[in-house]
Amino acid sequence: MKTNQPIMNEQSRGVFVIAATPFTDSGEVDLESIDSLTEFYLEKGVSGMTVLGMMGEAPKLSESETTLVMERFLKRVNGRVPVTVGVSSASNLRLERLSKEAMSLGAAGVMVAPISNLKLDEQVYGYFTTVANLLGKEIPICLQDFPQATGVHMSVNVINQLTDDFSQVVMLKHEDFPGMRKLSQIREQSKASNRRRISILVGNGGLFLPQEMLRGADGAMTGFAYPEMLVQVCDLFDAGKPKEAEDLFNIYLPLLRHEFQYGIGLALRKETLRRRGAIKSAFVRRPGPVLDAKDLDELSALISRLDFELA
Amino acid sequence: MKTNQPIMNEQSRGVFVIAATPFTDSGEVDLESIDSLTEFYLEKGVSGMTVLGMMGEAPKLSESETTLVMERFLKRVNGRVPVTVGVSSASNLRLERLSKEAMSLGAAGVMVAPISNLKLDEQVYGYFTTVANLLGKEIPICLQDFPQATGVHMSVNVINQLTDDFSQVVMLKHEDFPGMRKLSQIREQSKASNRRRISILVGNGGLFLPQEMLRGADGAMTGFAYPEMLVQVCDLFDAGKPKEAEDLFNIYLPLLRHEFQYGIGLALRKETLRRRGAIKSAFVRRPGPVLDAKDLDELSALISRLDFELA
Amino acid sequence: MKTNQPIMNEQSRGVFVIAATPFTDSGEVDLESIDSLTEFYLEKGVSGMTVLGMMGEAPKLSESETTLVMERFLKRVNGRVPVTVGVSSASNLRLERLSKEAMSLGAAGVMVAPISNLKLDEQVYGYFTTVANLLGKEIPICLQDFPQATGVHMSVNVINQLTDDFSQVVMLKHEDFPGMRKLSQIREQSKASNRRRISILVGNGGLFLPQEMLRGADGAMTGFAYPEMLVQVCDLFDAGKPKEAEDLFNIYLPLLRHEFQYGIGLALRKETLRRRGAIKSAFVRRPGPVLDAKDLDELSALISRLDFELA
Amino acid sequence: MKTNQPIMNEQSRGVFVIAATPFTDSGEVDLESIDSLTEFYLEKGVSGMTVLGMMGEAPKLSESETTLVMERFLKRVNGRVPVTVGVSSASNLRLERLSKEAMSLGAAGVMVAPISNLKLDEQVYGYFTTVANLLGKEIPICLQDFPQATGVHMSVNVINQLTDDFSQVVMLKHEDFPGMRKLSQIREQSKASNRRRISILVGNGGLFLPQEMLRGADGAMTGFAYPEMLVQVCDLFDAGKPKEAEDLFNIYLPLLRHEFQYGIGLALRKETLRRRGAIKSAFVRRPGPVLDAKDLDELSALISRLDFELA
């Protein structure tokens, strides 16, 4: 590990923005846009970044591209904020290698989603136990609980047990839907049994962020193309102004809801980031969603409306 | 059929509100609340009602309760608006009997969701062909396209073919998610081939109603507990005021998004209807969602905020 | 309950045949065939029967037909063997009423499959806890663990907990696939912790019956149309002759494997039962599988081959 | 392409055995076992091989291992039989590169399973259209129809359309379950419309091979650890001896059914191949199934029984 490398931990909070992976119009990795996107996110005030997540089109990168992208993000960030790297894989070997490579390049920790054929609590617990043991105590882990994409359901019990048994489990990306009660249960059971309190950052595009902050979330880990709003909402909550936070949130809600659409949401986000100057091309690798003229007009209308509200 | 019985058809538009089935606190069907709920909906200006849908807890009613509920709604409505009856069933015999009973009691048509093991276009087409033939030309059918609940995916081709082959198919409840492009495709392909234009009412709680109206929807069929907003939005679209429609919609969006949560959404809606005086108890039959103190407080906060915005 | 009513319990073993529900060619319930089918099963030596299971087309019966079918089977059996009644339902009220009705008519207990939206151990445990409390200590329960049909996965832990907490849980219908290790784990953990040993009867058409008997199964609960083989296999195991049991089993395996096909398996079984004189018509209610000429020829060939092997 | 490189085509028939990927006990690719396994398969008379399929643990190989494994198999086979390479990928770019690499190394064609989020006929057709266009007319394609693993259902219409539109689609790996009627429909509709007749090789471990040969299959593509039986069954069918073919098949059916178990089947096959001297270690990469003592004893018993039957 590097000196002064920021590390993800139980106190991590605020917005860990899920970074898109920028491509050129012909589908090559666009390194310069990685730089500009990084600066864009940092200017908006994010407290962390997550690269190579599902939204980062990680499964569509070759191994060398994976390294290239990770390296470039980490180099550009250069320790200014912690960077979490998505390392989910069908292969434990690859997961382990990628995690160690990430840490050696300056990552703050890794995010792991369960493989898709786990059906029972003990299978989910067993999977993460294996992963945690493979990675060791020095690599901080964020559990990704996203059943809509993985098909795997993580119970509060399993999350608690993993928290108890592995000090390197420091964060939960909470993305079950509906999942608000689960969030409350984790916080309540944790307090009741003097369990270590881990960081919980919410996903689902932030669709329920104000409600989730009140239930004990520490922030959001999501790729909404206006991360400055998420940042301000978190700041306002920290400042004890939940009402103002929700007022602000609701102004962006129409667009945020629009991006919430699975699949096409990725294309909408990349297009928005392109329009905002953060990346040069909105290209999504194939197979993947492609926006048509109607989609683009619809997005324009929603953005204009937001601009008008903010003006 | 009765004289002057309103009939669902291709011109049906506006808001067909999905009616909850009210129970007493001890779980019995509450006939008086059916009356008050009906009046509530009609006062809010709905152009139709849909009873015995999934939100109506139809699978949890006995056969005699099913008849009782349907009868009471239809009697109370008394022809003031068309009433669509959900008749989806694992048994074709039951589907047929229930449909005929509904029509004889004054229904405007029936809504049918596909059984859950249909995997291919031809299987979906085959299922609805059988159903349409069983019901005959006199019973108007609304196709319910709701893959999140049924597991069945309906293609534009299948919907088009059913429209072409069965004049009784007059409406689509559009509830695929994401589903906006599908909506546009149906409208475009229909126009391009001079196909009969059927009514399309959108579901998913109306989460994308303004966008969907612009893409060719004729209104909404959903159970949002503030149907007056949906009515006004549709009216504003009809009046050529899409901007104003969306302004209004966005005021309610935070609460609407909250109700959009699968499962618990039903309990939230019943509780809201209870608070608005439309029904006496928010009881949901078991197995079913139950709100806890946090859920109730959260709902209260969202409702207060809406009341404040509207004041 | 009746005097001398046979009751399902932890010692239940051998073959509880899953009874088809016979219809006439026009789809009406065929009461006389219920009688002949019952005599057929009893002649073949089954030690129990299960009526109104999935194979019994229970979801396609009206409420009055449900009562009629159950009543007729129970009356004809007349206490000669225990009869388990499938009571799975989307409604707890209906599940409770049907269970009590079944017991009052002479059933030996009820079989309950979980509703389909349970995802976590605690949800599955919670569901069956509610059911067990509703039914009380006097109604023996068979847990149906059939994830391929229900989408619900039951862990060994949940099965153990339910066994510990509810004395009325006396049987497991084991139908997970692959599920052999689970069977062994239940038996091993039960022994290790001095837990009450419940009856385990295997499903999946009996495809792995010899292996499962060696792992601790007490018999089979399945609808294979040659139940005499299953009976003899169980008897041979009881007589300490596992090799002979497997020899016999393997003779029928080609046909048994053929019936194992989901969906169409029901039609194949009814057709075979018809040919064997057990029922008058092989009619399956719609929607449901229909055999074509090729299917019928194929079945004939497999039956001829079996007859030849047995001759 | 190489001179005299055998190419997969519409006339391909017999047994294309799905090759395991052998590892050492410590999990490294075992090149020598690739050689011995290849010789084992060829001695058993297979008419083709399929490498890097799901059973080949392809998703658990790194990119360089993928190349290494493919190269070694192809080198060892050295044109003696056609070798199909599994190239399914979440990335079209990778699918294309891997396919071209495979062909340049001597592959006979590629096998492609659809990505997992395709729900409608037109989406499945669209996916394979893109793939076929990417690969061009010179790379023969085998469509893998395996909904139990991919979640994607392929209709007869889609398969027909792809056959009509792309001359490079020369083979179907038929693995839908139950899928016998589908197989008949493809053959019947093909004949009825003078469509090009493609090769159909069946999967599912060959569980229904005799029935499927009668319905028009050309052989099997599966990894059963006794491929000599599959070869002889196909030969007997070719020689006009279906009865003898089925007699032989049924002797192996108990073991074949045992291997048919999803997940653990792979471990059972590798262990059996190890015992037969084809590979040095039965190691399966993690995450993956591990046999316990009971599983091993059970397998031993089934193999002893088979040996006894064959003696």
- Count Cβ atoms within 10 A of the Cβ of residue D15 and give its class: 0-12 exposed, 13-18 middle, 19 or more buried: buried
Convert chain D into a string of H (helix), E (strand) and C (coil): CCCCCCCCCCCCCEEEEECCCCECCCCCECHHHHHHHHHHHHHCCCCEEEECCHHHCHHHCCHHHHHHHHHHHHHHHCCCCCEEEECCCCCHHHHHHHHHHHHHCCCCEEEECCCCCCCCHHHHHHHHHHHHHHHCCCCCEEEEECHHHHCCCCCHHHHHHHHHHCCCEEEEEECCCCCHHHHHHHHHHHHHCCCCCCEEEECHHHCCHHHHHHCCCCEECCCCCCHHHHHHHHHHHHCCCHHHHHHHHHHHHHHHHHHCCCCHHHHHHHHHHHHCCCCCCCCCCCCCCCCCHHHHHHHHHHHHHHHHHHC
Q: Does the beta carbon of A26 lie under 8 angstroms from any beta carbon of chain D?
A: no
pLDDT band at residue B54 under the 50/70/90 scheme: confident
Q: Closest CB to D122: pick one of B122, B147, B155.
A: B155
Q: Is the pLDDT at D44 greater than 80, yes or no?
A: yes
Mean pLDDT across C56-85? 97
Predicted pLDDT of residue C3: 66
Q: Does the beta carbon of B120 lie under 8 angstroms from any beta carbon of chain D?
A: yes
Predicted pLDDT of residue D3: 66
Whole-number Cα distances in Å, B302 to A209, B253, C187, C296, D223: 13, 10, 51, 62, 58
Count A/B contacts: CB-CB distance under 8 Å.
58
Instruction: Tell me how close the Cα of D306 comes to any Cα of chain C, in angstroms.
Output: 11
Cβ within 8 Å, pair A153-C121 = no
Predicted pLDDT of residue C68: 98
Mean pLDDT across C22-49? 98
| Chain A partners within 8 Å of C157 (Cβ) | 121-122
Whole-number Cα distances in Å, D273 to D21, D38, D41, D166: 11, 12, 10, 37
Mean pLDDT across B103-107? 97
Chains near D with 3+ CB pairs less than 8 A apart are: A, B, C
Cβ within 8 Å, pair B207-A257 = yes
Tokens of B299: 């709902």
Q: Write the CB contacts of D20 (distance below 8 Å, at least 6 apart in sequence).
A: D37, D55, D56, D57, D223, D266, D269, D270, D273, D279
| Chain A partners within 8 Å of C147 (Cβ) | 119
Predicted pLDDT of residue B4: 76
Tokens of B87: 């008749």
pLDDT band at residue B1 under the 50/70/90 scheme: low
Residue appearing with tokens 């051998």: C14
Q: Is the pLDDT at A1 greater than 70, yes or no?
A: no
| Number of alpha helices (DSSP H) and beta strands (DSSP E) in chain B | 12, 8
For C73-91, what is each residue's pLDDT tens digit? 999 999 999 999 999 999 9
The fold of D14-240 is TIM Barrel (3.20.20)
Q: Is the pLDDT at D1 greater than 80, yes or no?
A: no
Among chain B residues, the shortest Cα distance to D123 is held by: B155
- Note whether B49 and B12 are within 8 A (CB): no
Give residue limits of the domains in chain C.
14-240
- Note whether A250 and A45 are within 8 A (CB): no
Tokens of D246: 């089925």
Q: Does the beta carbon of D117 lie under 8 angstroms from any beta carbon of chain B?
A: no
What average pLDDT does chain D have? 97
Residue appearing with tokens 């935070």: B254
For D272-288, what is each residue's pLDDT tens digit? 999 999 999 999 999 99
Among chain B residues, the shortest Cα distance to A258 is held by: B208
Q: Is the pLDDT at C1 greater than 70, yes or no?
A: no
Tokens of B44: 């809010």
What distance in Å separates the CA atoms of residue A166 and residue A196, rounded to the nearest whole number?
A: 10
- Alpha carbon C266 to its chain centroid, in Å, reads 13
* φ, ψ of residue B307 in degrees (nearest 5): -55, -40
Q: Does the beta carbon of B63 lie under 8 angstroms from any beta carbon of chain C?
A: yes
Residue from A160, B239, A112, D4 nearest C121 by CA: A160
What average pLDDT does chain C have? 97
Q: Is the pLDDT at C180 greater than 70, yes or no?
A: yes
- Is residue B230 left, alpha or beta, with left meaning phi > 0 and alpha meaning psi from -120 to 50? alpha
Q: Write the CB contacts of A288 (distance below 8 Å, at least 6 apart in sequence).
A: A57, A60, A266, A267
Q: Is the pLDDT at C98 greater than 80, yes or no?
A: yes
Mean pLDDT across B242-271? 97
Element (H, E) at B68: helix B63-77
pLDDT band at residue D54 under the 50/70/90 scheme: confident
Among chain C residues, the shortest Cα distance to B54 is held by: C90
Residue type at B117 in one-letter notation: N
Among chain A residues, the shortest Cα distance to D131 is held by: A287
Q: Does the beta carbon of A294 lie under 8 angstroms from any beta carbon of chain B?
A: yes
Q: Is the pLDDT at D2 greater than 80, yes or no?
A: no
Cβ within 8 Å, pair D178-C253 = no
Among chain B residues, the shortest Cα distance to D155 is held by: B120
Select the more confidently predicted residue: A167 or D2.
A167
What is residue A35's three-state secondary structure? helix
Mean pLDDT across D100-112? 98
Tokens of D110: 């590629």
Rounded (5°) CA angle D263-D265-D268 = 130
Tokens of D217: 């299959």
* φ, ψ of residue A38 in degrees (nearest 5): -60, -45
Cβ within 8 Å, pair B211-A258 = yes
Mean pLDDT across C18-39? 98
For A206-232, what is each residue's pLDDT tens digit? 999 999 999 999 999 999 999 999 999
Q: Is the pLDDT at D45 greater than 70, yes or no?
A: yes
pLDDT band at residue A54 under the 50/70/90 scheme: confident
Q: Does the beta carbon of D286 lie under 8 angstroms from any beta carbon of chain A?
A: yes
Cβ within 8 Å, pair D93-A62 = yes
- Asked if the ipTM is above 0.95, the reply is yes
Cβ within 8 Å, pair A211-B181 = no
| Chain C partners within 8 Å of A153 (Cβ) | 119-120
Residue from B82, B97, B50 nearest B69 by CA: B50
Widest pairwise Cα distance in chain C:
54
| Chain D partners within 8 Å of A263 (Cβ) | 117
- Count Cβ atoms within 10 A of the Cβ of residue B15 and give its class: 0-12 exposed, 13-18 middle, 19 or more buried: buried
For A142-184, what is each residue's pLDDT tens digit? 999 999 999 999 999 999 999 999 999 999 999 999 999 999 9
What stretches of chain A adopt beta strand conformation (E)?
14-18, 48-51, 83-86, 109-112, 141-145, 169-174, 199-202, 219-220
Instruction: Tell me how close the Cα of D139 comes to any Cα of chain C, in angstroms.
Output: 35
Predicted pLDDT of residue D4: 76
Burial readout C65-98 (b: 16 or more C-beta within 10 A, e: otherwise): bbeebbbbbbebbeeebbbbbbbbbbbbbbbbeb
- The percent of residues in chain D predicted with pLDDT above 70, rounded, is 99
- Note whether B156 and B124 are within 8 A (CB): no
Omega of the bond leading into A114 within 30 degrees of 0 (cis): no
For A238-294, what is each residue's pLDDT tens digit? 999 999 999 999 999 999 999 999 999 999 999 999 999 999 999 999 999 999 999
Mean pLDDT across A125-148? 97
Instruction: Tell me how close the Cα of C297 comes to any Cα of chain B, in angstroms.
Output: 24
Mean pLDDT across C219-242? 98
What distance in Å separates the CA atoms of residue B181 and residue B35, rounded to the nearest whole number?
A: 39
For D154-202, what is each residue's pLDDT tens digit? 999 999 999 999 999 999 999 999 999 999 999 999 999 999 999 999 9
Mean pLDDT across B93-110? 98
What distance in Å separates the CA atoms of residue D243 and residue A141, rounded to the nearest whole number?
A: 59
Cβ within 8 Å, pair C119-A153 = yes
Predicted pLDDT of residue A3: 66
